[in-house]
């Protein structure tokens, strides 16, 4: 099975490379997903059986002002991969890494059956990407919420923003599990514990400071907790 991982230098992409050491893991220079012709040429040459698409514009703050750049990567890049795969190897399997932020965040513990309602531009582009991926007959949309298991990148973390968080390595193992189960459609790969972003940050950075959502003007999803009607939740690694 020939696997292609896009965004292989990112946090999740790097974790997936450990799971799939023989996978194609092109650099941005080798495969810029926003370049339609280069994507078509790459897919034609390599003919992957599985694409795990992790490449994305993920900054909520920047997405609010850089609409074109965010759209070009999250929607356009996904369209380019889907179009190329359908033309070259229509029986291949497309795994799209989505986000818990496709939901508004006013109630939490969203399942695959809940109706998405994006709260910001980043989330909107990720949701549209989901619908692009549905054009591939064999597709899997993995919604999740994760961070790298490393020092928290900010001096403070929100005490009133919540998720069923996992570390990137946990999500990579979850992705392998749902792929091996040959799951299709939408599946939530989520942690088994609801925690605040501050509680998450303290796992790797005990001296991180506290802040609240009142201190930001960004349209952030407040409760990003996910549940699943298809699989059991995962335990965040210690």
Helix (H) or strand (E) holding 40: helix 36-46
pLDDT at 7: 97
pLDDT of residue 136: 97
Residues 6+ apart with CB under 8 A from 222: 105, 106, 160, 161, 162, 213
Q: Is residue 228 part of a domain?
A: no
48 lies in some domain:
yes
Average the pLDDT over 162-173 and give the result: 98
User: CB–CB of 90/132 below 8 Å?
Assistant: no
Q: What is the pLDDT of residues 1-35, one digit of tens each?
A: 899 999 999 999 999 999 999 999 999 999 999 99
pLDDT band for position 108 (cuts 50, 70, 90): very high
Domain that holds residue 124: 3-215
Residue 105 in domain: yes
Res 66 pLDDT > 80: yes
Residues 99/144, Cβ–Cβ less than 8 Å: yes
pLDDT for position 148: 96
| pLDDT in the model for residue 238 | 77
Distances (CA, A) of 201 to 99, 125, 149, 204, 215: 19, 27, 9, 6, 18
At 123, is the pLDDT very low, low, confident or very high (cuts 50, 70, 90)? very high
What CATH number has the domain bearing residue 41? Answer: 3.40.50.720
Burial class (CB in 10 A: 0-12, 13-18, 19+), 113: exposed
The pLDDT score that the predictor gives to residue 168 is 98
234 assigned to some structural domain: no
Q: What are phi and psi of 5, to 5 degrees?
A: -110, 115
CA-nearest of 97, 102, 99 to 117 is 102
Q: Is residue 220 one of the residues assigned to a domain?
A: no
Instruction: Examine the pLDDT at 128 and tell me if it is beyond 80.
Output: yes
E strand or H helix at 199: helix 197-204
Average pLDDT over residues 95-104: 98
Q: 142 - beta bridge partners? A: 97, 187
Place of tokens 């939530």: 188
How confident is the model at residue 41, as a pLDDT? 97
pLDDT (average), residues 132-153: 97
Q: What is the pLDDT of residue 205?
A: 98
DSSP, collapsed to helix, strand or coil, labels residue 93 as strand
Cα 223 to Cα 39, 46, 164, 186, distances in angstroms: 36, 40, 9, 20
Flag whether 225 is in a domain: no
At residue 28, the pLDDT reads: 92
Q: Which pLDDT does position 118 carry in this prediction?
A: 98
Q: Is residue 223 part of a domain?
A: no
Evaluate if residue 197 carries a pLDDT over 80.
yes
Number of separate domains in the chain: 1
């Amino acid at each position: 099975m020939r696997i292609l991982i896009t965004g292989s230098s990112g946090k999740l992409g790097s974790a997936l490379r450990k799971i799939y050491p023989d996978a194609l893991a092109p650099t941005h220079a080798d495969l810029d997903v926003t370049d339609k012709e280069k994507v078509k040429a790459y897919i034609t040459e390599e003919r992957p059986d599985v694409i795990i698409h992790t490449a994305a514009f993920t900054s909520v703050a920047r997405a609010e002002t850089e609409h074109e750049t965010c759209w070009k990567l999250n929607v356009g890049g996904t369209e380019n991969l889907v179009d190329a795969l359908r033309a070259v190897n229509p029986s291949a399997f497309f795994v799209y890494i989505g986000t818990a932020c496709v939901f508004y965040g006013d109630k939490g513990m969203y399942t695959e059956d809940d109706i998405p309602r994006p709260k910001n531009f980043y989330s909107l582009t990720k949701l549209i990407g989901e619908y692009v991926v549905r054009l591939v007959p064999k597709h899997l949309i993995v919604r999740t919420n994760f961070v790298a298991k490393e020092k928290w990148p900010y001096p403070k973390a929100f005490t009133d923003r919540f998720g069923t968080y996992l570390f990137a390595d946990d999500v990579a193992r979850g992705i392998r599990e749902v792929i091996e189960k040959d799951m299709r459609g939408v599946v939530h790969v989520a942690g088994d514990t609801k925690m605040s972003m501050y509680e998450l940050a303290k796992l790797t950075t005990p001296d991180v400071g506290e802040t609240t959502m009142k201190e930001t003007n960004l349209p952030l999803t407040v409760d990003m907790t996910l549940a699943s009607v298809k699989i059991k939740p995962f335990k965040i690694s210690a």
